[in-house]
Amino acid sequence: MDGGEVSEILDSELLGEGLIPTLLHAHDMLLVQNPLTVPYRATTYGQLVESTYFWKLHDLRGNEAKTSDGIHLLPAGFDTILGVKPHQYPMHCDAITKEIKLLSDPFKIFEFDFWKRPNSHGKAELQIKATEDGCVHAVVSWWILQLDREGTVFYSTAPQWINSPINTGDQDWCDHWKQCVWFLPGKGVFISKGQEVLLEAIHTDTSISYNLKTLVPRSDVTA
């Protein structure tokens, strides 16, 4: 391919605007072997958090039960019929930092090399240790772009509480890409400091989803 093409196909989740289908088409129809791409790589990260503020935004049924005007968006008897499809919600988490309790260190989830032909589907299983006691209400996620092959130029959508050389500088101007929030089902998962949980992350060609399971401490396992 003699020429080049420039387009913006990233959203706050990274995959939602068709990044993988676009790369598949480019690698199958347009690019030479071992192409030079910009960006060079994208990596998604996440963190387990507790936030009653997040939960109130998500728990429509629980909030409506407390209303005094009797007006409900979710009518009685429709609980098993109506539901919200699980997906990630783009949010400016920096604006509500005081409402968020961090329950784990940041962890890497997926890595996408733009110069390689991607897989349409992928799965990662991560064993994560809790850093605080609390109830995991959600997974907050973000991504980091490595723009050059040498790894000297990066762009990050990480929240400002992440102290990293990649995330330095004033990014307050940027309101296009946000962090993403994935809510756990039910009332969340209670964990204790030092406890390990298993996070299963699955990506399709346009989305990422999560499933969190607690692991039984070794001292509690009986033969």
HSE-CB at 105 with a 13 A cutoff on CA atoms is 11
Give the residue-averaged pLDDT of 42-61.
87
Tokens describing residue 12 = 């706050």
**Which has the minimum average pLDDT: 82-86, 202-206, 217-221?**
217-221
**Which has the minimum average pLDDT: 10-19, 45-54, 162-171?**
162-171
Tokens describing residue 23 = 């790369």
The contacts of residue 185 (CB under 8 Å, 6+ apart) are 86
Give the pLDDT of residue 218: 43
Instruction: Decide if pLDDT at 159 tops 70.
Output: yes
Point out the catalytic residue in the list 5, 17, 132, 196: 17
Give the pLDDT of residue 128: 97
Instruction: For residue 203, list its beta bridge partners.
Output: 122, 208
Mean pLDDT, all residues of the chain:
85
Point out the catalytic residue in the list 5, 8, 50, 150: 8
Give the pLDDT of residue 63: 58
CATH 2.120.10.30 fits 19-70+87-220, yes or no: no
| 3-class secondary-structure state, position 155 | strand
- The CA-CA-CA angle for residues 23, 24, 26, to 5°, reads 60
Instruction: Decide if pLDDT at 162 tops 70.
Output: yes
Q: Is 8 a catalytic residue?
A: yes
Instruction: Decide if pLDDT at 175 tops 70.
Output: no
